[in-house]
Amino acid sequence: MNKSSIFGYVRYLLGLLILTTSSSFIFSQSTQSPLVELNTDLGKIIIELDIEKAPITVDNFLSNIKDFHYDGVIFHRVISGFMIQAGGFTFDLSPKNTSRQPIANESKNGLSNKRGTISMARTNDPNSAKAQFFINHMNNERLDGTENSWGYAVFGRVKFGMNVVDKIASLPTHEVLYFKNIPKKPPMIISARILSKGSWQQKEQKTKNSSERPTPEIIN
């Protein structure tokens, strides 16, 4: 084999390698889990969403992010050893309602409310979750759905930033009006951004205005 033939063969192998690598990268990009960044005034929290087990909830959460719903909301309910909750109120405790409809409860998807997972808050109606969410500070399996009862739907986990969650959970709280366990200086989500859509494709949803109460309630 002459020199030009060797060079041609090497170029062919390099081209094949690049094509294979590129295809693998594209495939992994299209099938990976969506990633979200919550930029708070106490640090950043990166959340990996489980679109396979909680497709409805993930779609709703990402759609709210695209609508900039979470920009400027506070963590209005903080209980160390339980959870931190956000998504419904601004710095002056004004409600921030989403125009999206309540979603179906996916609490029976096999995911558990363990430390570092993110779940949807809701009213006493199991299918009332809209925008408010909470991050479990400790294991809260009692909030899981069972065969005979609805729970709180887990739809992802904190990938990076549990130190920020711990920092928020440790804040001193007090009671203001009907708000219990509200931090004396409520931490704010400055911005919420989608870092990677993964396999998510936004679904259109008819909108309906309604308010939601801060939940979940503490279960003894």
Q: What are phi and psi of 181, to 5 degrees?
A: 60, 35
Q: Which two tokens stand for residue 203?
A: 């679904």
> Stretch 100-110: mean pLDDT, rounded?
96
* 97 within some domain: yes
> How big is the CA angle at 208 (ends 202 and 210), to the nearest 5 degrees?
120
**Does 22 have pLDDT greater than 70?**
no
Q: What is the DSSP letter of 72?
A: T
- pLDDT surpasses 50 at 48: yes
- Residue 20 shares a structural domain with residue 85: no
Q: Per-residue pLDDT tens for 185-195?
A: 999 999 999 99
**Residue 82 DSSP SS3:** coil
Does one domain contain both 18 and 100? Answer: no
Residue-number span of the structural domain to which 27 is assigned = 1-31
Instruction: Please tell me whether residues 39 and 118 are part of one structural domain.
Output: yes
Q: What is the pLDDT of residues 151-205, one digit of tens each?
A: 999 999 999 999 999 999 999 999 998 899 999 999 999 999 999 999 888 765 5
Is residue 84 within 8 Å of residue 77, measured between CB atoms? yes
What letter does residue 70 receive in the DSSP assignment? T
What type of residue sits at position 21? T
Question: In terms of domains, do 16 and 52 share one?
Answer: no
Please indicate whether residue 30 or residue 77 has the higher confidence score (pLDDT).
77
Residue 175 and residue 105 share a domain: yes
Classify residue 218: in a domain, yes or no. Answer: no
pLDDT tens sequence across 55-73: 999 999 999 999 999 999 9
Number of domains in the chain: 2
Q: What is the CATH number of the domain that holds 47?
A: 2.40.100.10
Over residues 23-29, the mean pLDDT reads: 39
Residue 146 and residue 98 in one domain:
yes
Q: Which spans in 32-79 are helix H?
A: 55-66
